[in-house]
């Protein structure tokens, strides 16, 4: 059994999300119908040819769980030289992203509306991504729900497979116990080196756009932790 098959077995059945009931607005539904052919990548259990999809060879970033897409849209607009892929399960969020992509006329952005675990397992070839962003993943604060947290050893193995040697993994959370959990799990992986020198956390990057989710955390008085890792090898 390969490493990939093993993480498949361990992660099957426990999802990091519960699909929220929120409906897409009429504008988002229109975007999902009209703009999906331009920006959308259908999920299928086959490796993607990203070179063909973007029509060029360029560095690639992946944002997992982009929510309403603020950070991803800003990053893609600021980095036309980087091809960006967003993965999100919440359809209204995908609709918002499509509207933003069209308004900014972004050519370097594509979106997949599916569970990122399966996207990493099935669609992304080893080493095809240079940078991964995971900002404010659901913290699942109750102990009985901790198994739902996205950042778990098998998921970190999947990230390690997708990210090229020398690539970067950036995370942020406003839930301190999850920040500590992220450090424990990712610091323990031989595939990743923590970039922080002292506390284990890095300063907030000026490039990380403030999202609605982070604003909500600020209103609740939550502090934010940023983490950055380099893919070893």
Ligand X SMILES: C[S@@+](CC[C@H](N)C(=O)[O-])C[C@H]1O[C@@H](n2cnc3c(N)ncnc32)[C@H](O)[C@@H]1O
Binding mask 37-76 for ligand X (x = CB under 6 A): ---------------------------xxxx---------
What's the maximum distance between 2 C-alpha atoms anywhere in the chain? 49
Q: Least distance in Å: CB of 132 to ligand X?
A: 12
Binding mask 105-124 for ligand X (x = CB under 6 A): ----------xxx-------
Q: How many residues bind ligand X (CB under 6 A)?
A: 23
Catalytic residues: 138
Binding mask 144-183 for ligand X (x = CB under 6 A): ------x---------------------------------
Q: What is the DSSP string of the chain?
A: --HHHHHHHHHTT--S------PPPHHHHHHHHHTHHHHB----SS---HHHHHTS---EEEEES-TT-HHHHHHHHH-TTSEEEEE-S-HHHHHHHHHHHHHTT-SSEEEE-S-HHHIIIIISPTT-EEEEEEES-----SGGGGGG-S-SHHHHHHHHHHEEEEEEEEEEES-HHHHHHHHHHHHT-TTEEE--SSSS-BPPPTTSPPPHHHHHHHHTT---EEEEEEE--
Q: Least distance in Å: CB of 67 to ligand X?
A: 3
* Tokens (6 digits) for 104: 């900014």
Q: Which is nearer to ligand X, 165 or 180 (CB)?
A: 180
Q: Least distance in Å: CB of 135 to ligand X?
A: 4
Name the residue among 226, 229, 109 with its Cα closest to residue 165.
Answer: 229
Q: Which is nearer to ligand X, 141 or 233 (CB)?
A: 141
Quick one: which of 39, 75, 136, 201 contacts ligand X (CB under 6 A)? 136
| Apex 13 CA angle, 131 and 8, nearest 5 | 50
Binding mask 71-100 for ligand X (x = CB under 6 A): ----------------xxxx--x-------
Hey, which residues between 184 and 213 contact ligand X (CB under 6 A)?
A: 211-213
Q: Is 224 in the site for ligand X (CB under 6 A)?
A: no
Q: Least distance in Å: CB of 166 to ligand X?
A: 25
Q: Which is nearer to ligand X, 177 or 233 (CB)?
A: 177
* Footprint on this chain of ligand X (rule: CB under 6 A): 16-17, 64-67, 87-90, 93, 115-117, 135-138, 150, 211-214
């Amino acid at each position: 059994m390969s490493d990939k098959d093993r993480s498949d077995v361990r992660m099957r059945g426990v999802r990091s999300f519960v699909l929220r009931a929120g409906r897409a607005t009429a504008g988002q539904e229109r975007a999902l119908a009209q703009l999906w052919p331009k920006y959308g990548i259908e999920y299928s259990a086959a490796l993607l040819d990203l070179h063909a999809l973007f029509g060029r060879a360029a560095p690639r970033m992946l944002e997992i769980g982009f929510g309403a897409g603020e950070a991803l849209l800003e990053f893609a607009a600021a980095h036309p030289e980087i091809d960006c892929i967003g993965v999100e399960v919440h359809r209204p969020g995908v609709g918002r992203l499509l509207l933003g992509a069209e308004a900014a006329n972004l050519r370097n952005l594509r979106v997949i509306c599916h569970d990122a675990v399966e996207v990493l397992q099935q669609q992304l070839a080893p080493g095809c991504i240079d940078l991964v962003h995971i900002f404010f993943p659901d913290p699942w604060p109750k102990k009985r729900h901790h198994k739902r947290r996205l950042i778990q050893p098998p998921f970190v193995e999947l990230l390690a497979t997708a990210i090229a040697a020398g690539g970067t993994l950036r995370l942020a959370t406003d839930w301190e116990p999850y920040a500590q959990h992220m450090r424990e799990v990712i610091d323990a992986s031989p595939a990743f080196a923590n970039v922080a020198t002292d506390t284990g956390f890095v300063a907030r990057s000026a490039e990380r756009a403030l999202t609605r989710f982070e604003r909500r955390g600020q209103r609740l008085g939550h502090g934010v932790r940023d983490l950055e890792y380099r893919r070893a090898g």
